[in-house]
């Protein structure tokens, strides 16, 4: 193979949407495909402190204020594990981020190198969209990176198989991988996954909060640059230069993350499937799912634990169907249906059958399991189609998030964390330690049946929700719901933001479920790189001033519904929607011509900046902060908490 050391460069763009492409319950996806976002040849970032090559797969827009360079390995389990976090970044920040892929197949991952060369060929033949489809398939089938599958996935990504098989022999793809390997060494990225966020280093499969901390800081800095006159496409080189120059070199041998020695208060209930005696001295709580290959791999270990420890251990199941596994929810629904209708024994029978089937989890496969165990398929299919256990899954996943139980499988052994498909010996070490502690508790008088309850009682609770102080909304703010409601939701939003549009159905659901118990207040936060957002905000406010709250929300809906239309948020469209609502058009046009409401819109911007809110959509619910187009259960949890605290 030819080894090249030069880093070529210039840059293409992307915009968020892969999440939607993966078919996820919690995802919000994107509106612009990678290829549509490209302004080919218009920007050259080869001279940046951390250069970007024309041959790099890119997902996002060149004008995005934050660039995330991802240095990764298709065979690395930690790279796979961080992908849901990267999807959450895309979901949360939308067109504010772009992601650039760099290859770093590690030498001890024997199947990684061919997969990376294949991915480079797919990118060359099919462009960014094809690459990201291939990327998803490779990570979803990480243990099957065979030559046959690489060709199959290339075809599924939209690339002609014959052309792919001919192209893969071209040494230029090996050269591209070598260039990326040299790139990683040059910037000090020795392991995988590694990230450079506008030049800021993040190493390893870090949680979303770690990414959020860096991204939010960068958004604040890039806003200053843009306000000072820097062109959006020039932001990345400026920030990369500042951050990379200031960053210490990444150590070649990073220390392993510190072991979590805390005992966490992990609740269990009769609504959780369980195996083993209820008075067992050791309770293992497992967050898992049926399409994850690592969950399948660890299942025999869990069975061995139950066999070895017999009456001393019970296992409690918690669902965490990951968003990039489209068959995880249907499979989990079948298992839950068995539990609900026939109890624990039926659940574990179905559980074992599902893992035996994996990766074959299509409806016809699930039907075979249902028939085998006497579960009426028509009822099961209705439960799948209606997402019957959506709330159960969401509650379980929310608890996992609170307990920082990221990825699957994830375990707590009498409250002590153990992450991943660990070998039996690793479990045994922790179980023996916890068993000794439990026996000491019994010796001091704690009944066996109360041991876990006492552990939970004194365990570490999840951290409280994040809070932000935005004060009272100005009296002249559009609102919906109860005027004097005890719970007030400040919605900071931008009419040009695709994720603000996407959260609208969730806000409608909140209005329907809570009625006058909550008050939703609109706060303007048009972002600097959304060129049409400010005028749209002023137009909506003029509609509100003329015709009140009801008309404002109707206009609000029209703007979001027409966000992508030809007129979209341009002046003709703004006038058209206003006229349809019977607004006095002379006053409306004068307000826009004279910038009548610029100061009012700026007041909301200032409130957001003071509170440290830089992205949209963002919500403050009686002081509790929620960022991004989150699903309804995320809102419900904070609203219910706020209602309880307010005595509502």
Given a cut of 50, whether residue 389 has pLDDT beyond it is yes
Strand-pairing partners, residue 412, are 285, 417
In terms of Cα–Cα distance, which of 408, 382, 433, 197 is closest to 318?
408
Residues ≥6 apart with Cβ < 8 Å to 332: 289, 290, 319, 321, 389, 393
Residue with tokens 């979901």: 91
Q: How many CB atoms lie within 10 A of CB 633?
A: 16
- Model pLDDT, residue 15: 27
Do the bridges between strand 313-319 and strand 282-288 make them parallel or antiparallel, or are there none, so unpaired?
A: parallel
- Model pLDDT, residue 229: 92
Lowest mean pLDDT among 163-172, 486-495, 627-636: 627-636
C-alpha atoms less than 13 angstroms from C-alpha of 286 in its C-beta half-sphere: 27
Confidence of residue 34 (pLDDT cuts 50, 70, 90): very low
Region at 196 (left for phi over 0; alpha for psi -120 to 50; beta for the rest)? beta
Compute the distance between CA of residue 115 and CA of residue 150 in angstroms, rounded to an integer: 7
Residue with the bigger pLDDT between 19 and 524: it is: 524
Return the SS3 of 363.
helix
Residue with tokens 């409280």: 464
Compute the distance between CA of residue 221 and CA of residue 129 in angstroms, rounded to an integer: 30
Is there a contact between 368 and 380 (Cβ–Cβ < 8 Å)? no
Given a cut of 70, whether residue 332 has pLDDT beyond it is yes
Confidence of residue 17 (pLDDT cuts 50, 70, 90): very low
Compute the distance between CA of residue 609 and CA of residue 612 in angstroms, rounded to an integer: 5
Is there a contact between 101 and 108 (Cβ–Cβ < 8 Å)? no
- Model pLDDT, residue 14: 28
Residue with the bigger pLDDT between 647 and 314: it is: 314
Strand-pairing partners, residue 621, are 489, 624
Compute the distance between CA of residue 258 and CA of residue 193 in angstroms, rounded to an integer: 18
- The mean pLDDT value for 131-155 works out to 91
Residue with tokens 């910037």: 187
Compute the distance between CA of residue 600 and CA of residue 604 in angstroms, rounded to an integer: 7
Token pair, residue 248, equals 């210490």
Ramachandran angles phi, psi of 315, nearest 5°: -115, 130
Given a cut of 80, whether residue 13 has pLDDT beyond it is no
User: pLDDT tens digits, residue range 235-262?
Assistant: 999 999 998 865 444 444 444 446 788 9
- DSSP structure class, residue 233: G
- Model pLDDT, residue 255: 45
User: Which alpha helices (DSSP H) does 65-146 contain, by range?
Assistant: 77-93, 112-140
Given a cut of 60, whether residue 621 has pLDDT beyond it is yes
User: pLDDT tens digits, residue range 62-111?
Assistant: 889 999 999 999 999 899 889 989 999 998 999 899 999 999 998 888 88
Per-residue exposure over 123-143, b if at least 16 CB sit within 10 Å of its own CB, e if not: bbbbbbbbbbbbbbbbbbbbe
Q: How far is CA 477 from CA 485, 502, 518, 536, 637, in A?
A: 15, 22, 15, 16, 25
- Model pLDDT, residue 520: 98
Compute the distance between CA of residue 615 and CA of residue 527 in angstroms, rounded to an integer: 8
- Model pLDDT, residue 212: 94
Residues ≥6 apart with Cβ < 8 Å to 4: 175, 178, 179, 182
Token pair, residue 506, equals 């969730």
Compute the distance between CA of residue 59 and CA of residue 38 in angstroms, rounded to an integer: 9
User: pLDDT tens digits, residue range 496-512?
Assistant: 998 899 899 999 999 99
User: pLDDT tens digits, residue range 522-576?
Assistant: 999 998 888 999 999 999 999 999 999 999 999 999 999 999 887 789 999 999 9
Is there a contact between 266 and 260 (Cβ–Cβ < 8 Å)? no
- Model pLDDT, residue 187: 87
Q: What is the mean pLDDT of the chain?
A: 88
Compute the distance between CA of residue 458 and CA of residue 415 in angstroms, rounded to an integer: 10
What residue ranges define each of the domains in the chain, with the CATH number in brackets? 18-108+179-246 (3.40.30.10), 274-458 (3.40.30.10), 479-646 (3.40.30.10)
Confidence of residue 629 (pLDDT cuts 50, 70, 90): confident
Ramachandran angles phi, psi of 596, nearest 5°: -55, -35
- Model pLDDT, residue 405: 86
Percent of the chain with pLDDT over 70: 91
Length reported for the chain: 648
Confidence of residue 384 (pLDDT cuts 50, 70, 90): very high
- Model pLDDT, residue 634: 81
Confidence of residue 25 (pLDDT cuts 50, 70, 90): very low
Residue with tokens 């239309």: 565
Token pair, residue 621, equals 């619910």
- Model pLDDT, residue 258: 61
Lowest mean pLDDT among 237-246, 388-397, 470-479, 534-543: 237-246
E-strand stretches of 347-505 = 410-413, 416-419, 479-481, 487-493
């Amino acid at each position: 193979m030819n080894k090249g050391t030069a880093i070529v460069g210039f840059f293409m763009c992307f915009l968020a949407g892969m999440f939607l492409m993966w078919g996820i319950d919690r995802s919000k996806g994107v509106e612009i495909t990678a290829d549509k976002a490209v302004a080919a040849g218009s920007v050259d970032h080869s001279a940046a402190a951390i250069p970007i090559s024309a041959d790099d797969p890119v997902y996002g827009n060149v004008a995005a204020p934050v660039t995330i360079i991802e240095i990764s390995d298709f065979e690395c389990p930690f790279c796979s594990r961080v992908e849901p976090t990267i999807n959450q970044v895309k979901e949360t920040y939308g067109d504010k981020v772009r992601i650039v892929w760099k290859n770093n197949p590690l030498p001890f991952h024997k199947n990684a190198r061919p997969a990376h060369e294949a991915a480079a060929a797919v990118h060359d033949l099919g462009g960014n969209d094809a690459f990201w489809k291939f990327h998803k398939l490779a990570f979803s089938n990480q243990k099957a990176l065979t030559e046959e599958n690489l060709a199959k996935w290339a075809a599924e990504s939209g690339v002609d198989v014959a052309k792919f098989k001919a192209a893969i022999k071209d040494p230029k793809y090996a050269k591209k991988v070598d260039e990326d390997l040299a790139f990683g060494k040059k910037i000090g990225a020795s392991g995988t996954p590694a990230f450079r966020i506008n030049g800021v280093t993040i190493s390893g499969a870090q949680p979303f909060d770690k990414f959020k901390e860096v991204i939010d800081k960068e958004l604040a800095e890039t806003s200053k640059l843009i306000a000072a006159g820097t062109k959006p496409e020039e932001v990345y080189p400026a920030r990369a230069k500042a951050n990379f120059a200031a960053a210490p070199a990444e150590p070649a041998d990073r220390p392993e993350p510190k072991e979590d020695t805390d005992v966490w208060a992990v609740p269990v209930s009769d609504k959780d499937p369980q195996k083993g005696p209820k008075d067992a001295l050791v309770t293992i709580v497992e967050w898992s799912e049926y399409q994850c290959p690592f969950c399948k791999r660890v299942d025999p270990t869990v069975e061995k634990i139950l066999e070895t420890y017999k009456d001393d251990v019970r296992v409690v199941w918690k669902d965490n169907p990951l968003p990039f596994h489209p068959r995880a929810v249907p499979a989990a629904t079948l298992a839950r249906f068995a539990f609900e209708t026939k109890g624990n024994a039926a659940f574990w029978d179905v559980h074992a059958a599902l893992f035996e089937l994996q990766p074959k989890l299509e409806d016809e496969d699930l039907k075979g399991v249902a028939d085998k165990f006497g579960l009426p398929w028509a009822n099961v299919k209705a439960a799948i189609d209606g997402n019957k256990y959506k709330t159960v899954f969401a509650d379980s996943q929310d608890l996992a998030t609170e307990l920082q139980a990221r990825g699957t499988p994830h375990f707590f052994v009498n409250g002590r964390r153990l992450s991943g498909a660990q070998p039996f010996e690793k479990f045994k070490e922790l179980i023996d330690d916890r068993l000794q502690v439990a026996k000491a508790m019994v010796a001091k008088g704690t009944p066996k049946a109360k041991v876990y309850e006492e552990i939970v009682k004194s365990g570490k609770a999840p951290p409280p929700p994040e809070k932000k102080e935005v004060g009272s909304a100005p009296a002249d703010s559009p609102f919906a719901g109860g005027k004097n409601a005890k719970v007030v939701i400040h919605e900071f939003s931008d009419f040009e933001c695709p994720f603000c549009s996407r959260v609208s159905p969730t806000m409608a659901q909140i209005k329907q479920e809570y009625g006058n118990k909550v008050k939703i207040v609109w706060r303007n936060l048009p972002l600097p790189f959304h060129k049409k957002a400010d005028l749209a905000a002023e137009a909506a406010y003029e509609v509100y001033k003329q015709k009140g709250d009801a008309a404002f929300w109707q206009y609000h809906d029209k703007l979001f519904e027409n966000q992508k239309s030809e007129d979209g948020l341009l002046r003709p469209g703004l006038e058209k929607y206003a006229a349809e609502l019977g607004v006095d058009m002379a006053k409306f046009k004068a307000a826009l011509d004279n910038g009548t409401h610029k100061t009012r819109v700026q007041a909301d911007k200032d409130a957001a900046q003071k509170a440290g809110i830089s992205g949209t959509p963002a919500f403050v619910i009686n002081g509790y902060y929620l960022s991004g187009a989150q699903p309804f259960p995320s809102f419900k949890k904070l609203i219910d908490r706020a209602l309880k605290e307010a005595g509502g």
